[in-house]
């Protein structure tokens, strides 16, 4: 029984990614740490999570440098839209969630991403209570 409970806890990040991937138009989702180590990913075969984690870190680093010069707080959430994709980056403590969706995906994806962020926060609070600020 204890092994089943432990396995469920370890799979909560993956369950969060699966929850995101269920949404129509989501191509990929990745959870990484603030050093770019991929914790979990899900998505289409032609999309590599190892590309999204360094991309997200680079975007966050450069944006935060500019924000710092403007005396603003660091990025918490960022959405980038291109002609064919919608890239969302969410910072949750030292965890980064990156979601890549087709541009045709409706705006309700924001709600699904918000729920996924809450799932990650809950998992972090349950599994790593000493990390709370």
Task: Report the CATH number at residue 81.
Answer: 3.30.450.30
What pLDDT is stored for residue 9 in this prediction?
A: 47
Q: Which of 110, 103, 105, 68 minimizes the C-alpha distance to 89? A: 110
What pLDDT is stored for residue 57 in this prediction?
A: 94
What pLDDT is stored for residue 132 in this prediction?
A: 54
Asked if the structure places residue 4 within a domain, the reply is no
The tens-digit pLDDT sequence of the chain (133 residues) is 444 444 554 578 999 999 999 999 999 999 999 998 999 999 876 677 788 889 999 999 999 999 999 999 999 999 999 999 999 999 998 999 999 999 999 989 999 999 999 999 998 887 766 555 5
Which residue is associated with the tokens 């129509």? 24
Residue range of the domain that includes 70: 11-131
State how far the alpha carbon of 82 is from the alpha carbons of 62, 79, 85, 99, in Å. 19, 10, 5, 14
Strand order in the sheet with 95-102: 38-43, 26-33, 95-102, 85-92, 77-81
On whether the CB atoms of residues 29 and 21 are closer than 8 A, the answer is yes
Asked if the structure places residue 107 within a domain, the reply is yes
Asked if the structure places residue 6 within a domain, the reply is no
Asked if the structure places residue 1 within a domain, the reply is no
Q: Compute the C-alpha angle 118/104/62, nearest 5°.
A: 60
Asked if the structure places residue 74 within a domain, the reply is yes
Asked if the structure places residue 73 within a domain, the reply is yes
Of the CA atoms within 13 Å of residue 36, those in its CB half-sphere come to 12
Asked if the structure places residue 63 within a domain, the reply is yes
Asked if the structure places residue 120 within a domain, the reply is yes
Using CA of residue 125, residue 97, residue 59, residue 42, what is the dihedral sign?
A: positive
Write out the H or E segment, with its range, that includes residue 46. Answer: none
In total, how many domains does the chain have?
1
């Amino acid at each position: 029984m204890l092994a089943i409970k432990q396995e469920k806890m370890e799979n909560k990040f993956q369950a969060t990614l699966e929850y995101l991937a269920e949404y129509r138009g989501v191509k990929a989702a990745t959870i990484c740490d603030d050093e770019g180590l991929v914790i979990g990913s899900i998505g289409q075969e032609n999309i590599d999570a190892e590309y999204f984690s360094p991309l997200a870190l680079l975007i966050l680093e450069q944006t935060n440098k500019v924000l710092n010069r403007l005396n603003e707080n660091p990025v918490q959430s960022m959405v980038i839209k291109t002609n064919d994709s919608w890239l969302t980056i969410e910072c949750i403590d030292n965890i980064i969630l990156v979601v890549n969706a087709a541009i045709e995906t409706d705006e309700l994806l924001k709600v699904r991403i918000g729920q996924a962020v809450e799932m990650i926060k809950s998992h972090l609070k349950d599994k790593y209570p000493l990390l709370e600020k």
